[in-house]
Amino acid sequence: TGEWIIVSPHRISRPWGGEKSSPSNQGFTKISSYLSPGATRSNGAVNPNYTSTFVFPNDFAALVPGHTGKCAPPGTCKAAEDKDELFQSREAAGECHVMCFTPHSDLSLPLMSEEDIQTVIREWMRLSDQLKHNLYVQIFENKGAMVGCSNSHPHCQIWSSQFMPYLIDLESKNQKEYFRKHNVPLLVRYLERELQDGSRIVEQSEHWVALVPYWAKWPFELLGLPTRHVLKLCHLTSEEVVDLSMTMKRYLTRYDNLFECSFPYSMGWHEAPNMIPNDKPTSEDPSPDIHDVTPESCDVTHWQLHAHYFPPLLRSSSVKKHIAGYE
């Protein structure tokens, strides 16, 4: 994103009088929830008796399609605040889906078989392609109550928006600027450098690498990268899917073994935006949406598919890391 991070490794040795805890096993339990097969959800819908993955539209979607299924142009929202530049609003259109990884409530990804993890990955690939009519597709998993997950059944969410999310927009601008200067994707060159150094590599296979990024802000933060230039999940080969299932299972198992608990984290796949050209003029709005895309902006060669993992744990299975700073 271009953000600078202050790194002070010597502070790990400072006297600790803060929160402490005893070791605990915070694993998944075999309980019934509204995401279980055959369960009735709060809106009255009944889940099928699914035996693998299960995808459905989010019953409480944060994003919904606009009146025409597209994002409203700037200035069309009826709120009175729009007349004042200090109180701006704009329709945020899109779609939200939920995906259950497995019918078993007591299984998380590291406890699933590699074959079942491959099924999850292929479903991610299908959704990446199916939702490409939106400007951006974000697949993410918030695992554990500590990161705000409201249901313990193993699942992720897919939000596809007709605008560029803020962090994705920052990543895109910085990757594009690097590509303009060096004619190679930033994260492709970055991985080359990390493999030469080797000190931050956590897992490495033929097609994937999991590493602690040089700019890590969170304890135990990970970055997942393919070893070749890939734009989107739906572009993965069969060999890369198999290899990813093995690599994911390994580094997620490392997480669980760290504090002997079902390790919480926020994970997000950042794939290339779906640049859709149209003949509408580019607006000056700071949050680009589908109306701001021009044919010139459709080249996303600068992008590299990657996954972020942000775990909240600090010193044990229950001591949470808080982002506190002097600013």
User: How far is Cα 274 from Cα 128, in angstroms, rounded to an integer?
Assistant: 10
Q: Which residues contact 12 (CB under 8 A, 6 or more apart)?
A: none
- The active-site residue out of 153, 155, 207, 306 is 155
Is 229 a catalytic site residue? no
The values of phi and psi at residue 171, to 5°, are -60, -40
Q: Which residues contact 4 (CB under 8 A, 6 or more apart)?
A: none
At how many degrees (to 10) do helices 114-130 and 238-258 cross?
A: 120
Contact 192, 75 (CB under 8 A): no
Beta strand ranges found along the chain (DSSP E): 54-57, 94-100, 136-143, 155-161, 201-204, 208-211, 222-226, 265-270, 306-310
Find the DSSP H helices in the chain. Answer: 114-130, 166-182, 186-197, 238-258
Angle 185-191-196 (CA atoms, 0-180°, nearest 5)?
135
| 85 DSSP 8-state letter | T
Q: Which residue in this structure is represented by tokens 């969170």?
A: 218
Q: Which residues are catalytic?
A: 155
